[in-house]
Amino acid sequence: MDIQTIKQRFGIIGHSTLLDRAIDIARQVAPTDITVLITGESGVGKEVFPQIIHNLSARKHGPYIAVNCGAIPEGTIDSELFGHEKGAFTGAHEARKGYFEVVNGGTIFLDEVAELPLSTQVRLLRVLESGEFIKVGASKVIKTDVRVVAATNVDIPDAINKGKFRQDLYYRLNTVPIYMPPLRERKEDIVLLFRKFAADFAEKYRMPALELDEAARQMLMNYRWQGNIRQLKNITEQISIIEQSRLINAHILQRYLPGENRELPVLYNKEQSQSDFSERELLYKVLFDMKRDINEMKKLVVDILEQGGVSHDIKRDHQPIITQLIKDVETPDDDQEIYQDQHSEPIVLDSFYTHEVMDESLSLEKREKELIRRAIEKHGGKRKNAAIELGISERTLYRKIKEYDIR
């Protein structure tokens, strides 16, 4: 069966090279009993590949079951997978077969396999290596003939380093890896998927299907889609129900794309998003800390000079430098401090360093105030969206609004 036939049979939309590669690998490994590990972000459609593998294998007439390992409580996961004997634990009023016994001769799909407890991982490893397991509360070894296909959106090598996943189980599961790309890596498929979902919802809700203009299509393809296909389908349904117009332009579409950012660069990544400082604020902090340190150093030198900490000859030979140091000294509490020595009239000090920083600060302050005002107007007063647009946290935005008295 060729790739295009598989797409039609299993309802797969797209022409991406990465997508075709994943389907081709699934097609090639299907006739074997090799264990397969499918990786990819949440919402990319990993669940279709175990069905392809099962239906193209010799086990297609046998049972198939999908198990979401993350949805089963840790205390009952062993019983669900391997079964238990009567009285094995509180509430076990009768014996029960587990999935590995029920699916004997078929295929079991373990979704979110990285969520399995370490003790269950040991049991799973034994099944994969020898086809044997023991029910909870029993001593008899049971044989099973099950093909395992697993999937996860977790970085398993990282989980191994953190001690949350067994390395030997990873190598056993990862005999043949299949990578399902996120939407941002298959942009050419995004509009096709939107059209498919729009047609489905038009039929479901008995209304004309949505259409996109060129600007909306470009916006759709350039959006990051953190939730991938699941998010795209959800947004398509929202627009289908809420919007009266069937022709969707970029202005309408933008209202449904959370955190849509096209004008201002983001100054921090997700790992830094909990910080209250933007890069600009951090730069200001470093500059003013340097200024304070320099001023304190100058003050220390002046104090030494005034207290007679150097010889008369040094004072005489370096009097111009000493005089200039005294003129340059500022205190941290006041940028306009008056100093006087025995040879000069009172001088109002305004150091070169302070001039440079304050002039730039005032210029950037005006720009920042204008950018904040424009962002708030653009998002209709919604501060959360404005903060995302500006690349700063909500807390920082609230402080800036108060500081600049933006109404």
Cα–Cα distance measured from residue 44 to residue 131, given in angstroms and rounded to the nearest whole number: 31
3-181 fold: Rossmann fold (3.40.50)
| Amino acid occupying residue 178 | I
* CA angle, 305 then 311 then 313, to 5°: 115
Burial of 334 (0-12, 13-18, 19+ CB in 10 A): exposed
CA atoms within 13 A on the CB side of 154: 21
The answer to whether 27 and 56 are in contact (CB under 8 A) is yes
Residue 99 CA neighbour count, 13 Å, CB half: 21
Buried/exposed 86-121: b ≥16 CB within 10 Å, e otherwise: eebeeeeeeebebbbbebbebbbbbbbbbbbeeebb
- Both tokens of residue 41? 């972000």
CA-CA distance, 250 to 184, in Å (whole number)? Answer: 18
Contact (Cβ atoms closer than 8 angstroms) between residue 201 and residue 232: no
Residue 64 near residue 109 (C-beta atoms within 8 A) = yes
Residue range 184-254 in CATH 3.90.180.10: no
Quote the pLDDT of residue 395.
80
pLDDT, residue 337, reads 38
pLDDT of residue 389: 80
Map residue 232 onto helix, strand or coil.
helix
Q: Which two tokens stand for residue 197?
A: 């979902």
CB 154 within 8 A of CB 114: yes
How large is the C-alpha radius of gyration of the chain? 33
Long-range contacts of 123-129 (CB under 8 A, 24+ apart): 123/78, 123/81, 123/82, 124/81, 124/148, 124/169, 125/166, 125/168, 125/169, 125/172, 127/100, 128/35, 128/169, 128/172, 128/173, 129/172
Distance (Å, whole) CA 60 – CA 54 = 5
Alpha carbons 177 and 39: distance in angstroms, whole number: 7
CA distance 71 to 81: 13
pLDDT score of 367:
76
CA dist., res. 21 & res. 158, Å (int): 25
Alpha helices, DSSP H, located in 318-351: 319-328
User: Looking at residue 329, what is its pLDDT?
Assistant: 53
Residue of 391, 14, 4, 362 lying closest to 221 (CA atoms): 14
Distance CA 344, CA 333 (A): 24
Residue 49 burial (CB count, 10 A): 25
In the chain, domain spans: 3-181, 184-254, 265-407
pLDDT of residue 12: 95
pLDDT truncated to tens, each residue of the chain (407 aa)? 899 999 999 999 999 999 999 999 999 999 999 999 999 999 999 999 999 999 999 999 999 999 999 999 988 999 999 999 998 888 888 999 999 999 999 999 999 999 999 999 999 999 999 999 999 999 999 999 999 999 999 999 999 999 999 999 999 999 999 999 999 999 999 999 999 999 999 999 999 999 999 999 999 999 999 999 999 999 999 999 999 999 999 999 999 998 754 433 433 344 444 444 455 556 666 676 777 777 777 676 666 666 655 555 555 555 565 565 555 554 444 443 333 444 444 434 344 444 444 444 445 677 788 888 888 888 888 888 888 887 788 888 888 888 878 87
- Distance of alpha carbon 166 from alpha carbon 129, whole angstroms: 14
Instruction: Give Cβ neighbours of residue 118 (< 8 Å, ≥ 6 apart).
Output: 164, 166
